[in-house]
Amino acid sequence: DAKANAPGSARFYVQRLGEQVRRRQIMERDLRDAIDQGQLSLAFQPKIDLSSWRVTGFEALMRWRHPEHGNIPPGEFIPIAEDCGLIPSLGEWALNEACRCATRWPAELTLAVNLSPVQLMAQNIVGLVQAALTSSGLQAQRLELEITESVFIQENRTTVRQLRALHDLGVRIALDDFGTGYSSLAYLRRFPFDTLKIDRAFVRELLVSRDARAIVRNIVALAKSLRMTTVAEGVEEPAQVLVLDGEGCDQIQGFLAARPMPAEDIRAFLRNWREQRPDVPTGFQPGV
Ligand code: C2E
Ligand code: MG
Ligand code: MG
Ligand code: MG
């Protein structure tokens, strides 16, 4: 009966749900072997300093190319990895691979690696970071670890202790996706973040919403008074750069400067950026 299977019918939704459950089972099964099968890779996206329009460093973002299903976005497979206990090995792989790549870049460039809250709870992350730095030879000062606010949802002593120990290694800590998650500011006092990344949601609304602009202005002011560097995520339009610079934001990241790229492309990207300073928005004078 066609009607019983039509979109909106109960059977339609049950079928869709069944497909999603099946896809998830497949993902979970195949993710276990993804590292060994060489299906994982890293893409790197630059961060740009607004006072000089120079590249300050790159964030490493995990990519999974499934042999049958193609590219699976990290927004889909990271939560699965967190649920089924695979995030520690995925995270360890990403950390080592990213550090290894970064040692081939000019020494002034930083590397940012995302950490899952689960890694801070379940892993001796301090030992892993130390090992990754030692085996790659990357200086601790060049490494920044990005974590989201969700790390503080359950107040956890292990988490805060590990963050402090990481900080003591000389590694910098960034608060990722700021403003979207857990809405308490108390943890900004409990832990000394070095960097605050303003979530893409605010940047997206920046040119059309006075409220979004007011929020960005106040996030920047808050960060400045706590001596944190601010990075605006998801910058796609030149006009957003002008507003962000006007509000005192330090750095930008987003498709305007570059999409995440494979490690092999970084050298050419940097040369091109240095020689042509591409995409300086009209009317924007860095450092003025
Ligand atoms: P994130 O750490 O906030 O990374 C930024 C995400 O925004 C990336 O998505 C990036 O490709 C995307 N992005 C950057 N600029 C723009 C822009 O101008 N417009 C739009 N629309 N998007 C932009 P991606 O690579 O899909 O990663 C999604 C999330 O997955 C990351 O968000 C991070 O939370 C997580 N993730 C990625 N790699 C790792 C990893 O190695 N470990 C962990 N634990 N999480 C990771
Ligand atoms: Mg991040
Ligand atoms: Mg983010
Ligand atoms: Mg995000």
Q: Which ligand has the nearest atom to the CA of 45?
A: 1
Range name among 82-96, 170-184, 246-260 with the lowest pLDDT average: 170-184
Q: What is the pLDDT of residue 184?
A: 67
CB 287 within 8 A of CB 52: yes
At 109, is the pLDDT very low, low, confident or very high (cuts 50, 70, 90)?
very high
Is any atom of ligand 1 closer than 6 Å to the C-beta of 76?
Answer: no
Bridge partners, residue 49, by sequence: 54, 251
Helices then strands, counting H and E runs in the chain, come out as: 12, 10
Distance 52 CA to ligand 3 centre (A): 23
Indicate the pTM of the whole model. 0.93
Determine the atom of ligand 1 nearest the C-alpha atom of 177.
Answer: 3
Total residues belonging to the chain = 288
Q: Which ligand has the nearest atom to the CA of 145?
A: 2
Tell me the average pLDDT of the chain. 92
Q: Does this complex have an ipTM over 0.85?
A: yes
Instruction: Give tens-digit pLDDT for 51-92.
Output: 999 999 999 999 999 999 999 999 999 999 999 999 999 999
CB 144 within 8 A of CB 172: yes
Q: Name the residue type at position 104.
A: R
Distance 14 CA to ligand 2 centre (A): 35
